[in-house]
Amino acid sequence: MMKRVVIFCLLLAAATPFLLGCIAPPPEKGMVIRFGYQPSTHQVAFMLAMEKGWWQSDLARLGVVCVTEAEFPSGPPEMQAMLAGDIDVAYVGATPPITAIDKGLKAKIVAGVQINGSHLVVKPELAESFTAEKLRGAKIATFPPGSIQNTILRKWLLENGLDPEKDVDIVAMGPGDAVTAMGAGAVDAAFLPHPYPAIIELEGSGVMVVPSGNMWPNHACCCLLVSEKLLEEHPEIVKQIIKTHINATLYCREHPDEAAEVYARKCGWDVSQVKYSLDTWDGMWVYDPYIGLNCTLEYARVLYELGYTEKLLTREDLFNTTLYDEAVAELGL
């Protein structure tokens, strides 16, 4: 019996490399650019360019043989993957790169992706003649401390005379849990990026009352982050990535319905929900990194003061706008 088990184990061990060989993708010869993104309407420019094959066709001229994509549920695991060297380019929120760069990630923000685009949504009984004062004693769901949403919400509460620590109960959770919590009446309000506030409103469990652009005008939300290795070794490829991103962003702005369809198809949403979200949000797809630059530096200051970064990161630590400037000049924008 023992002999049979040993023989079986040896055969299994011998077969493993072949089995793995069958399921592993074949190695690519030539340059491969690996993108990371999140399934958010904020980053639809990436999805559109991917669906239309623009990344592949634009980068092929520069020797890129393959463009891959990896979807991440949120920014931290995306940055973790970049730190581990698994992705070269990331569409990501503005705060995850700050803490990652502080921890040793060699990467720079090279372009903007989107500004504003979050909404405070409250349960229907609080919505009529809404003022911030109505949130006194309320339980508000949002992303964890240090995130863009948490930072903006706390700033806005303070500006409206409410102490985020004493006057309200801010509970940290992911967007799916927050939508469930609103539906169950487990929280009184939620401050989330689109399309989640629109989903809550469509489900009838909440009403969108304050867009994030009213709380902090033109605040940075998502950005385009590129590894320093790619920046140093292949600046021409990075410049082309920026150009393709600009073209995709302009196309999304001109064809929002098509952008909504691309997003709905790729992420498995109902297209009417996505269109409703895009009709009601105050977000804007951008490519200019200068729009969100000061705001990102403000996020860096908040993260430093909260003790989430060891040092106060500067513009030089976070941004590289040289290639963007060149790309814009070459495109004649």
Partner 1 sequence: MNLTALKGRILEVISLCVAVFLWQMVSDYVVRNYFILPSPYLVARSLLELWTTLPVDIAISMLHFGIGLSLGTVVGVSVGAVTGWFRVADRIADPIIEIIRPIPPLAWVPFAIVWFHLTHRAAGFIVFIGAVFPILINTYAGFRGVPRDLVDAALVLGCKKEKLMLRVAFPYALPSIATGVRIGMGVGWMCVVAAEMFGVSRSGLGYRLFQIFYPHHKMAELMLYMLILGLISLLLDRVFRHFVEERLLAWKKGLVAEA
- Contact segment (CB under 8 A) with partner 1 among 9-17, 32-40, 171-179, 223-231 equals 171-179
Please say whether the beta carbons of 185 and 122 come within 8 A.
no
Q: What is d(CA 253, CA 257) in angstroms, rounded to the nearest whole number?
A: 9
Among 62, 136, 144, 301, binds partner 1 (CB under 8 A): 144
Q: What is d(CA 322, CA 288) in angstroms, rounded to the nearest whole number?
A: 12
Among 44, 79, 226, 274, binds partner 1 (CB under 8 A): 79
Give me the least distance between CB of 100 and partner 1, in Å please: 6
- Contact segment (CB under 8 A) with partner 1 among 39-47, 173-181, 194-202, 273-281 equals 173-181
- Contact segment (CB under 8 A) with partner 1 among 10-18, 31-39, 165-173, 210-218 equals 165-173
In sequence order, the 6+-apart residues with CB closer than 8 A to the CB of 258 are: 48, 252
Nearest to 117 by CA among 252, 199, 212, 251: 212
Asked if 39 touches partner 1 (CB under 8 A), the answer is: no
The interface with partner 1 within residues 80-99 (CB under 8 A) comprises 80, 83-84, 96, 99
DSSP state of 52: T
Strand partners, 284: 115
Q: Is the dihedral of CA 94, 56, 70, 101 positive or negative?
A: negative
Q: What is d(CA 8, CA 68) in angstroms, rounded to the nearest whole number?
A: 38
Asked if 75 touches partner 1 (CB under 8 A), the answer is: yes
Asked if 147 touches partner 1 (CB under 8 A), the answer is: yes
The interface with partner 1 within residues 95-134 (CB under 8 A) comprises 96, 99-100, 102-104
List contacts with partner 1 (CB under 8 A): 74-76, 79-80, 83-84, 96, 99-100, 102-104, 139, 141, 144-147, 171-174, 176-178, 180-181, 183-187, 303, 308-309
